[in-house]
Amino acid sequence: MASSTTTRKPANGDRERALENRATRDDPTGTDRNADIVLGAAVIAMGLLAGLIYAWAITVMPALTAADDRTLVDAMQQTNDNPAFPLTFLVAGALAAVALFQARRSGSATTAGWIVAGLALYTVTVVVTGAIHIPLNEDLKNAGDPARIENLAAVRDDFATPWVAWNIVRTLASTAAFASLAWALVLRGRMGRAEQPRRTDEGDHR
């Protein structure tokens, strides 16, 4: 008696599940998409930080140093209590750190290298801020009411001269950090476009 083999055709539900699984493997909408979003957000946050510091370097401090002693001291005492600046600092660093973790996990060595460079330059910005600017801001705040400071010119000079000089350093560092993260995002986009035809070819041969 001849035996016959019956080939079972996949049911519609099986076919749909197979296509669903293939899309999950091939289409970069999961982890890869999340990594893109995080790195893009890190670039934006670092750009805001660099732009904020740059604005102080080219507009705020030149205007204040051109003003009289009392105006500079009073204005800087008021602006030092703004929470937006430290918040921008924290968000930029945290997003860049998460982006680095995701790049290393995905094996993107080149992208990770540029993110490391961005974080290193960001660290320079943080160190300069913590070692120079924050102590200067605190000393100026503790000097008291500008109307009651005896030697206002000396207080102004002790504050403004190092503050302005070191702000140039952190302007350059933060701008370079932004550029490094932006280049990492560009490289990640190029790799994604290069992998897309390969993913398409693999999907066609399945």
pLDDT tens-digit readout, 178-204: 999 999 999 988 876 666 555 445 555
pTM: 0.79
List, in order, residues 6 or more apart from 92 with CB less than 8 Å away. Answer: 42, 45, 46, 48, 49, 122
- On the question of pLDDT at 117 being above 80, the answer is yes
Q: Has residue 126 been placed in a domain?
A: yes
Q: Has residue 155 been placed in a domain?
A: yes
Sole residue written with tokens 């910005």:
125
Task: Tell me how far the alpha carbon of residue 60 is from its chain's centroid.
Answer: 23
Domain limits for position 59: 33-194
The answer to which of 14-18, 21-25, 124-128, 181-185 has the lowest mean pLDDT is 21-25
Gap between the Cα atoms of 121 and 16, Å rounded: 49
Q: Has residue 11 been placed in a domain?
A: no
Q: Has residue 147 been placed in a domain?
A: yes
- What is the predicted pLDDT for the residue at 14? 53
Q: Has residue 4 been placed in a domain?
A: no
When pLDDT is averaged across residues 119-145 and rounded to a whole number, the result is 96
For the chain, how many structural domains are there in total?
1
Q: Has residue 2 been placed in a domain?
A: no
Gap between the Cα atoms of 84 and 13, Å rounded: 52
pLDDT tens-digit readout, 27-84: 444 567 898 999 999 999 999 999 999 999 999 999 999 999 999 999 999 888 788 8
- On the question of pLDDT at 131 being above 70, the answer is yes
DSSP single-letter state for residue 147: G
Q: Has residue 200 been placed in a domain?
A: no
Gap between the Cα atoms of 189 and 150, Å rounded: 59
**Which stretches of 35-111 are assigned E, i.e. beta strand?**
none
When pLDDT is averaged across residues 133-159 and rounded to a whole number, the result is 95
**Which stretches of 47-119 are assigned E, i.e. beta strand?**
none
The answer to which of 8-12, 37-41, 50-54, 96-100 has the lowest mean pLDDT is 8-12
Sole residue written with tokens 């035809």:
197
